[in-house]
Chain A
Amino acid sequence: MSTNPSPVEYTAAEAAGVWCMRLSEGPLHGEDQAAFDRWLDADERHRAAFEEAVTTWREFDGAESEPEFLSLRLEALQTLRRSTRLPRMRLSPRWAAAAAVVVIAIGGAGVWLGSLPTIYETGVGERHVVMLKDGSKVSLDADTRVEVKYSDNRRALRLDRGRAKFDVAKDPLRPFSVAAADKTVVATGTEFSVELLRQDVHVILYEGHVAVLGPMSIAHVAQPLHLASNGAVPADQLLTPGHELVAPQATAAATVALTDPARTLAWEGGQQVFVDEPLASAVERIDRYSDRKVSIGDPAAGRILITGVFMDGDTRAFIEGVTAVFPVRAESQNGQTVLTSAPREN
């Protein structure tokens, strides 16, 4: 490198920023190293400016996964893509590394990956919001995996596990579908969540309308689910905003019930709210937030209906609360907490 930031061309802050950038790319050598020392010693304010620059640099840690940065990143990457003349691109190893970064980053914003699905995944206790290319928003609960595959005529997503909420941007020409187990939810412009819980698919509608389809028939046509109570009525007809549809796997029947939208969205705010929830599904949800796993010891315990509000990740409070109020006993087995039913003590 032959040019160095000099006090003549740069303000102290700009020079500090440039040195910070250079240091981030690797060790300085020879003349650069000496120039950096000279710059630091030239003025006592330079050292302070350098400290400020380094702090500012670190402030951007983690920015790549922040929703606020998605549109900024997308814009920057599109500019890069437009100005890169592919046929003349030199494939130096350095460029290949940069290209790999770009592909991953673009994947992160859910764009142009042709036939390859983009996978979004959260670990235990994590939550993540993803803005997709078309403006749709996917909010992933903990321990959740969603595959996104966009093409010219469809927006196909798959929930592999966990729970996610979808705010779908309107685009009548490209249906938005979410597959979960053997069910498919199809929307055009709406807000809904899909959750896989104990092999059941739960769909909650917040706004608009969705169709819920069952497994493909032999003729490769997916049929709408019908109501468990009346085989002639399509279940999604009753699925209006504020309702929840529950469809067990491997059947084409479903139940629809009124739900409390604020309660069902509490997970987005870091809480679990259970109202008459079977203990088995409450435990499955609690386990998404902590490595300290809880399991159910006997089927009777799993059927106990519990009510309560718990903070995500506070498994201890959950166990204490449940055992204090409900006829349940907790035992430690192989690093897990097992909940078994206990006769009520009188």
Chain B
Amino acid sequence: MKAEANIEQISRRLRPSLVAYFLRRVRSHAEAEDLTQDVLLRLTQLDLAELRTADAYVFRIAANLLADRARRNFIRSRFASDQAATEGFGVDGLSPYRVATGRRSLATLAKRLEDLPEKTRTIFILHRIENINKRALADALGVTTKTIENHVGRAMAYLMLFREDGE
């Protein structure tokens, strides 16, 4: 895989994982969102062209931010050590390692996509693989952004269905 020179691409790929990662450890979505933005901001300071894959760095930064936050919280209130911040570190459900092992093959996913109605499949591929955002897609296809969301939501639900079967 070529190095991703574009922070935009990395963000598209990893933002939802990062939000989920932080949501497991902090109380509010607002805080998870702030931490996610912080990670992506730090990523812009790295020379991305030198990274073969950004994933490991992204989750390393995320873990460090959590550790910093836990330290600050500890100083603020001695007794409330934030277990959540450090537990499961390194074997987190969304660490690159877990994703690599629990992952279905891309060939399997391609087959699943073929089951979908053409329009749903097309919109999902353009959004997820070609990285075209929903506003641009809606403009190009002459539909509302709501329609784009409906199709992506349906495609995602269908693909998740097969995950549960332990395929």
A343 at the interface (CB under 8 A from B): no
A112 at the interface (CB under 8 A from B): no
Give residues 76-114 of A contacting B (CB, 8 Å): 76-77, 79-80, 83-84, 90, 94-95, 97-98, 101-102, 105
- Judging by beta carbons under 8 Å apart, are A57 and B130 in contact? no
- Judging by beta carbons under 8 Å apart, are A21 and B152 in contact? yes
- Judging by beta carbons under 8 Å apart, are A101 and B134 in contact? no
| Stretch of A9-17, A227-235, A304-312 at the chain-chain interface | A9-17
A220 at the interface (CB under 8 A from B): no
By size class, the interface of chain B is 35 or more
- Judging by beta carbons under 8 Å apart, are B20 and A75 in contact? no
- Judging by beta carbons under 8 Å apart, are B157 and A11 in contact? yes
What is the CA–CA distance of A55 and B167 in the complex, to the nearest angstrom? 14
Query: How many residues does chain A have at the interface if contact means C-beta atoms less than 8 Å apart?
Result: 64
A contact residues around B48 at 8 Å (CB):
none
- Judging by beta carbons under 8 Å apart, are A27 and B149 in contact? no
A contact residues around B51 at 8 Å (CB):
none
B28 at the interface (CB under 8 A from A): yes
B30 at the interface (CB under 8 A from A): yes
Give residues 12-67 of A contacting B (CB, 8 Å): 13-28, 33, 36-37, 40, 47, 49-66
A329 at the interface (CB under 8 A from B): no
State whether A63 and B109 are in contact (beta carbons under 8 Å apart), knowing that A21-B127, A24-B15, A55-B94 are contacts in the complex.
Answer: yes
Output the residue of B1, B121, B125 with the most chain A CB within 10 A: B125
What is the CA–CA distance of A123 and B2 in the complex, to the nearest angstrom? 8
B44 at the interface (CB under 8 A from A): no
What is the CA–CA distance of A59 and B155 in the complex, to the nearest angstrom? 13
A170 at the interface (CB under 8 A from B): no
* Cβ distance A30 to chain B, nearest Cβ, rounded Å: 11
Q: When the two chains form the complex, which single residue of B16, B30, B129, B141 contacts A64, counting CB atoms closer than 8 Å?
A: B129
A contact residues vs B (CB 8 Å cutoff) = 1, 3, 5, 10-11, 13-28, 33, 36-37, 40, 47, 49-66, 68-69, 72-73, 75-77, 79-80, 83-84, 90, 94-95, 97-98, 101-102, 105, 123
Shortest beta-carbon contacts, A-B, top 4: A17-B156, A98-B136, A13-B157, A14-B153
B contact residues vs A (CB 8 Å cutoff) = 1-2, 8, 11-17, 19-20, 23, 28-30, 33, 36-37, 93-94, 99, 102-104, 106-107, 109-110, 113-114, 118, 121-122, 125-137, 139-142, 145-146, 149-150, 152-157, 159-161, 163-164
* 17 sampled A-B residue pairs with Cβ under 8 A: A16-B160, A17-B154, A17-B156, A17-B160, A21-B149, A28-B33, A52-B164, A57-B128, A59-B99, A60-B106, A60-B129, A63-B109, A65-B2, A94-B136, A98-B137, A102-B130, A123-B2
